């Protein structure tokens, strides 16, 4: 697959390459916008076009202190991620003082918010928009590792590894989605922990080798995110489109 993307890149015009580099350099959040949209659309979320909105929210000063902590877990102790760790983060949700972040708890919390609103008969889609975004951030290696010099220097470029072609490869992502069964919150926590571990280990690998992700590695990660969010949709009673 890596060879395929290399061939596509070599076939692009100089202007196209310039535009890709320009826009990637200008963006600075999570996986970049088009990557988040591709994950959500491949998952079958009918509001996939809103999946980048949580990054817009955290860009506003009034909301930044609370919202930005939902997008990462720095894991400064570099401990293996467990379901117990995931559930423990739910207690830190919306804690602006939690500098290490609580991405895993934010996924659980957004699902809880959706179920609560749905049960009350209120419009409930917006928590799923946040969940789609957080599920995307979950697979990004540098959102699961210490925010050290390596992370700071390479974060933006790794966020945009597949930004230029993600929306052109939604079919590939969809065909690569694998089944995840979630019957309860414990199952969800276990799957979050499993995917977080794939990201954490990849983060350690690229740090040790002092390099960026390859496109193949990035697609492997976002397929984890798409598979998880599709399972979340089924878990809360939404039929993926």
Looking at residue 38, what is its pLDDT? 99
CATH number at residue 85: 1.10.575.10
pLDDT at residue 30 in the model: 72
For residue 123, being part of any structural domain is answered with yes
Q: How many CB atoms lie within 10 A of CB 133?
A: 31
With respect to residue 19, please indicate whether it lies within any of the assigned structural domains: no
Residue 158 sits in which domain range? 33-236
Cα(186)–Cα(133) distance, rounded to whole angstroms? 21
What average pLDDT is seen over the chain? Answer: 90
In a domain, 11, yes or no: no
Q: Is residue 9 situated within a structural domain?
A: no
Compute the CA torsion angle 215, 216, 219, 223 (nearest 10 deg): -170
Residue 123 in this model has a pLDDT that exceeds 60: yes
In a domain, 177, yes or no: yes
Residue 205's H or E segment, with its range, is: helix 185-208
What is the end-to-end Cα distance of the chain in Å, rounded?
Answer: 26
Domain assignment present for residue 18? The answer is no
Pick the more confident residue, 4 or 207: 207
163: pLDDT strictly greater than 90: yes
Mean pLDDT over 18-29 rounds to 38
Q: Is the pLDDT of residue 111 over 60?
A: yes
pLDDT per position as a tens digit, 173-195: 999 999 999 999 999 999 999 99
pLDDT at 21 over 80: no
- Rounded mean pLDDT, 189-212: 99
Evaluate whether 79 touches 85 at the Cβ level (below 8 Å). Answer: yes
Residue 28 lies in a domain: no
Q: How many separate domains does the chain show?
A: 1
For the chain, the maximum distance between any two Cα atoms, rounded to a whole number of angstroms, is 54
Residue at 108 is within a domain:
yes
Show the beta-strand stretches assigned E in 51-194.
none
CB 52 within 8 A of CB 33: yes
């Amino acid at each position: 697959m890596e060879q395929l993307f290399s061939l596509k890149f070599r076939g692009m015009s100089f202007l196209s390459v310039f535009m890709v580099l320009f826009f990637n350099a200008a963006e600075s959040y999570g996986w970049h916008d088009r990557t988040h949209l591709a994950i959500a659309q491949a998952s079958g979320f009918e509001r996939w076009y809103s999946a980048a909105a949580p990054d817009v929210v955290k860009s506003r000063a009034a909301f930044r202190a609370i919202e930005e902590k939902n997008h990462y877990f720095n894991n400064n102790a570099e401990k293996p991620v467990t379901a117990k760790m995931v559930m423990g983060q739910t207690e830190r949700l919306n804690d602006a003082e939690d500098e290490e972040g609580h991405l895993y708890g934010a996924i659980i919390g957004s699902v809880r918010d959706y179920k609560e609103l749905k049960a009350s008969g209120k419009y409930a889609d917006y928590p799923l928009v946040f969940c789609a975004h957080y599920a995307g951030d979950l697979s990004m290696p540098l959102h699961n590792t210490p925010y050290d010099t390596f992370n700071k220097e390479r974060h933006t470029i790794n966020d945009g590894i597949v930004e230029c072609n993600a929306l052109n490869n939604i079919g590939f992502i969809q065909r690569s989605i694998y089944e995840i069964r979630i019957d309860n919150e414990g199952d969800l926590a276990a799957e979050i922990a499993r995917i977080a571990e794939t990201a954490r280990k990849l983060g350690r690998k690229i740090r040790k080798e002092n390099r960026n992700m390859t496109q193949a590695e990035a697609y492997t990660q976002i397929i984890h995110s798409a598979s998880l969010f599709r399972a979340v949709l089924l878990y809360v009673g939404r039929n993926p489109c």
